[in-house]
Chain A
């Protein structure tokens, strides 16, 4: 609900619970509640102009914080894709091994940082950090089914990403039971390895 208050301002109705929380923050930051709220509304308008939502923006920020911490960097896509295609012809095994190794490292990093939440995070992180159009991870008992789609990914990079994901899943305690992929589309199944993350003290 919005009502006009003066020439340049309008009054907006908020639930009292939210106002109380806003008041606490405003006091902590040394600003008025109106000024803090107005700042948030301005940012929401900025995000809307990017054709995004604020919730998604905050989610993505959280994902990038973790992804960046794992050593992700941004590079020109065209050059990287060409490089991969060229190397793939003669150095396929070496490339696949490097990708799987990097995946293992990332899996260990996620496990150390997020524990049991790593698998849930992986679905969002893969979509955002590899610019995939769709990623689904379904956990069915001991089996985890993972599917990803990209409308622009070349076959070579799809194959390498499958290796990378296998490495991640391996570090998270799963072994591959099925891998099938086409250009930009992969369906993978993994089985939990009992006790993969159990450590005993000598």
Chain B
């Protein structure tokens, strides 16, 4: 016998009813999975956190693709029609900016959360709120192609434009994006 919090135990009973399983079967299944995760050298909470993030990403309209293909495709399109592609990424950024602003007070926190979901390959993303309503964003990856660096930067610029923040500094080079935004006084 094992002692469990009454509230949780009741939820497990409900879960069993929904699945048309016995409570015993349900508990067995849950704990078997906990053992499986332990066998993988992980914590169940981390596995569930990960699933939650994936579900959030799906709801935000994100999908998986192969990193190298993404950069190839973007570079191909960038070489073909730089102006048109740039406008498109800016436009997508504006759309997401509006989406983020409806999800949190200033939209910046929702953007930061989304960028963590987006985490492209081994890129390092950092966002910092500074003095006087300023926000600094940096994203670095040695795999970003020149075309991808530019359009990814435009995506972020579009987000902040929709969040009504002005771009006050931009220092991009291949694989490096550094942007600073400021709320107008």
The total of chain A residues at the interface (CB under 8 A) is 73
Q: Count the B residues whose beta carbon is within 8 Å of the partner chain — how many?
A: 67
Q: Would A75 and B55 be within 8 Å (CB), given that A21-B35, A98-B73 are in contact?
A: no
Give the contacts of B5-52 with A (CB-CB under 8 A): 5-6, 8-13, 15, 23-24, 27-38, 40, 42, 44-45, 47-48, 50-52
Instruction: Give the residue of B12, B23, B32, B47 whose beta carbon is less than 8 angstroms from that of A57.
Output: B47
Verify A47–B51 contact, CB threshold 8 A.
Answer: yes
A37 contacts which chain B residues (CB < 8 A)? 2, 4, 31, 34
- Binding site of B, secondary structure by majority: helix, strand, loop or mixed? helix
B31: chain A residues at CB < 8 Å are 14, 18, 22, 37, 40
A1-B67 in contact (CB<8A): no
* Residues B8 and A102 in contact, CB atoms below 8 Å apart: no
Q: Are B30 and A50 in contact (CB under 8 A)?
A: no
Query: Which chain B residues border A55 with CB–CB below 8 Å?
Result: 29, 33
Q: Indicate if the CB atoms of A58 and B47 lie closer than 8 Å.
A: yes
Question: In the complex, which residues of chain B have a beta carbon less than 8 angstroms from the beta carbon of A9?
Answer: 3-6, 9
B48 near A46: Cβ-Cβ < 8 Å: yes
Judged by DSSP, the binding face of A is helix
Residues in A neighbouring B117, C-beta threshold 8 A: 74
- The minimal Cβ–Cβ distance linking B59 to chain A, given in whole angstroms, is 11
Interface residues in chain B, defined as those with a beta carbon under 8 Å from any beta carbon in chain A: 1-6, 8-13, 15, 23-24, 27-38, 40, 42, 44-45, 47-48, 50-52, 54-55, 57-58, 60-70, 72-74, 76-77, 80, 85, 88-89, 92, 96, 117-121
Apart from A40-B30, A80-B65, A102-B66: 4 A-B pairs, beta carbons within 8 A: A44-B15, A57-B51, A73-B65, A87-B80
Q: Which residues of A contact B (CB under 8 A)?
A: 1-2, 4-5, 7-15, 18-19, 21-22, 25, 33-34, 36-48, 50, 52, 54-55, 57-58, 60-62, 64, 67, 70-80, 82-84, 86-87, 90-91, 94-95, 98-99, 102, 105-106, 129-131, 164
